[in-house]
Amino acid sequence: MSTTERSSLRVSRWYMTLFFSDALERFGFYGLQAILVLYASAPAERGGLGLPIADAAALFGAWIGFMFMLSLAGGWIGDRLLGNRRALVAGCVVSVAGYLCMAVPAGWAAAVGLPLLGIGGAVYKPNHQAMINRMFGGSKGREAGISMMYVATQLSALLAPLVVGYLGERVSWNLAFGVAAAVLLLTAIQLVVTAGQFDGVGDRPIRPLTAAETHLVARRTGVVCAVLAVLLAGLAATGVLSATMAIAVVGVLSVVVPIVCYVLLYRDPALGVGDRRRLKTFLAVYLGATLFWMIIAHAASLLNLFARDHVDRHVFGLEIPASWLQGVTPLFILLLAPVIAVVLPRAGGAHRLGVKLGGGLVLVGSGFLVMSVATMLAEQGAKVSPFWLVVVYLTHACGEVIVAAVTISAAADVLPAGFMGRTLGTLWLFAGLGGGLGSGLVRLAEVMPEPVYYLGLGAVAAACGVVFVAGRGALARGLAADAPVERR
């Protein structure tokens, strides 16, 4: 039975499995997003890591940059080593180990747990998206299906700050991480129990490694691990290793790795001339996604700290946890996603990618223009209304539903099916570039007025959005399967 036939006959079963597995897996991610900066900046006597504000604000961007940076490797693992569905299970198991480490009240545990969480997420996310694209088969209904999948994500994004945020801020940071570990364990169990719904799709790699390739990969992996182990041991022994240095290293790597991996993918001998032409054109989309996710990542860093320090959070005489405001974006997405899923496929016509990506950048850019005004008011000393952040999060919600759905759907058509995991992994690799750049960029907020900081970022994002809309025709022609190849 073909993938298209399978999708039409059994869509309710496999789709709901992927829907709920994503909801459960993302619970841990959004719980971490809600409390990581607060946990890192909390004093050691209150169970936190006791990092300076600048390092704490940069930590989330560095961590998400690390996770996205590994997404290409995660997609490769699904494409060539485990198979996409089995990679989902592996990613969940690694994440369980990461959250269990975070639940241990010791500084070394966080140093081990955060990298494990990055690896687990990097393996899970691109392979989950690959499974969605493979099970849908053709493009019909795929974009709307991905938009609705965002409902699953936002169910967790709404509940996680309420549960994990409350436990972390008011009870125990370690208990909050323990709850996330339990949820990820349920995710892995669900994926194992429902394996038969996929009729073998994702159980084996599309292009399995040959014996020679397996030997080469094992040798290179061993060398890289040995070099990293020696380097880390040397830095720790000399006392140079610190959170600040780790964040800086991740920031540098998140810039270098996307460039290197994109070039390697572009030069893959299995790609044809038309494949390389489409991949070259899609570089503009990768860079647009970089800017978009760099701005979105501020919600868990500077905007979270702004909510803690400058927002009046008293409701009916009670002060709500700062992390609860992280639930505003998913609440808007839950309300908007069903409508956008119906409207989105019709918007933009033949040039929908440029129009939608450009529109998403204009939205998040305008949100930062609003944030510029909010920080200007906060500089006067009084705490501001939470509605300022609500407006910013509304622009984030609209932009995220649109940009995530259209870029994931478009990435599936750039290269042949055997490269789908790597193409999607590269998409998140460039999102990691945004996180890495953001981890350094947030430090500018300490040396320049915050209104100027948000004004500058907002203006750049909005201007880039306008460029994408203006160049929508050229983008569509460059990605078209039947576009003529330029001859020299």
pLDDT of residue 144: 65
> Residue 150 — pLDDT band, cuts 50, 70, 90?
low
Mean pLDDT computed over 197-204: 86
pLDDT of residue 322: 86
Scanning 348-386, the segments in alpha helix (DSSP H) are 352-378
> Residue 4 — pLDDT band, cuts 50, 70, 90?
very low
The answer to whether position 249 is within a domain reads yes
In sign, the C-alpha dihedral spanning 276, 277, 278, 284 is: positive
Q: Which of 122-136, 268-282, 406-420 has the highest mean pLDDT?
A: 268-282
pLDDT of residue 367: 93
Higher-pLDDT residue of 246 and 455 is 455
The answer to whether position 311 is within a domain reads yes
Mean pLDDT computed over 344-362: 77
Nearest to 308 by CA among 42, 38, 111, 52: 38
Task: Please state, rounded to an integer, the average pLDDT across all residues of the chain.
Answer: 83
> Residue 7 — pLDDT band, cuts 50, 70, 90?
very low
Mean pLDDT computed over 234-252: 71
User: Which domain, by its residues, includes 45?
Assistant: 3-208+242-479
The answer to whether position 393 is within a domain reads yes
> Residue 336 — pLDDT band, cuts 50, 70, 90?
confident
pLDDT of residue 455: 94
pLDDT > 60? residue 255: yes
The answer to whether position 416 is within a domain reads yes
pLDDT > 90? residue 403: no
Mean pLDDT computed over 201-212: 83
pLDDT > 70? residue 12: no
pLDDT of residue 8: 43
pLDDT of residue 9: 38
pLDDT > 60? residue 10: no
pLDDT > 50? residue 485: no
The counts of H helices and E strands in the chain are 19, 2
The answer to whether position 229 is within a domain reads no
> Residue 147 — pLDDT band, cuts 50, 70, 90?
low
Mean pLDDT computed over 53-59: 80
pLDDT of residue 140: 56
Higher-pLDDT residue of 165 and 429 is 165
Contacts of 270 (CB under 8 A, 6+ apart): 416, 418, 419
Domain count, the chain: 1
pLDDT of residue 206: 79
Q: Taking CA 30 as the corner, what is the angle to CA 422 and CA 432, rounded to the nearest 5 degrees?
A: 35
The answer to whether position 485 is within a domain reads no
- Helices 53-69 & 3-41, crossing angle to 10 degrees? 160
> Residue 445 — pLDDT band, cuts 50, 70, 90?
confident
pLDDT > 80? residue 356: yes
* Cα gap 27→299, rounded to integer Å: 17
Residue 319: enclosing H or E segment and its boundaries?
strand 318-319
pLDDT > 50? residue 3: no
Q: What is the CATH number of the domain that holds 137?
A: 1.20.1250.20
Mean pLDDT computed over 243-252: 73
HEC per residue, 28-91: HHHHHHHHHHHHHHCCHHHCCCCCCHHHHHHHHHHHHHHHHHCHHHHHHHHHHHHCHHHHHHHH
The answer to whether position 117 is within a domain reads yes
Tell if the pTM clears 0.85, that is, is over it. Answer: no
pLDDT of residue 242: 64
The answer to whether position 250 is within a domain reads yes
Q: Which of 49-58, 62-71, 264-273, 362-371 has the highest mean pLDDT?
A: 362-371
pLDDT > 60? residue 223: yes
Give the DSSP per-residue string, 4-20. HHHHHHHHHHHHHHHHH
pLDDT of residue 349: 58
pLDDT > 80? residue 162: yes
Higher-pLDDT residue of 168 and 54 is 168
Higher-pLDDT residue of 102 and 429 is 102
Q: What is the pLDDT of residues 297-326, one digit of tens each?
A: 888 888 988 998 889 988 887 888 888 888
* Cα gap 348→235, rounded to integer Å: 52
Scanning 194-242, the segments in alpha helix (DSSP H) are 211-237
> Residue 381 — pLDDT band, cuts 50, 70, 90?
confident
> Residue 204 — pLDDT band, cuts 50, 70, 90?
confident
Pick from 232-246, 328-342, 377-391: least confident: 232-246
Pick from 1-5, 151-155, 443-447, 455-459: least confident: 1-5
pLDDT > 70? residue 243: no
Mean pLDDT computed over 369-396: 90
> Residue 138 — pLDDT band, cuts 50, 70, 90?
low
Going by the DSSP 8-state scheme, the letter that residue 314 receives in this structure is E
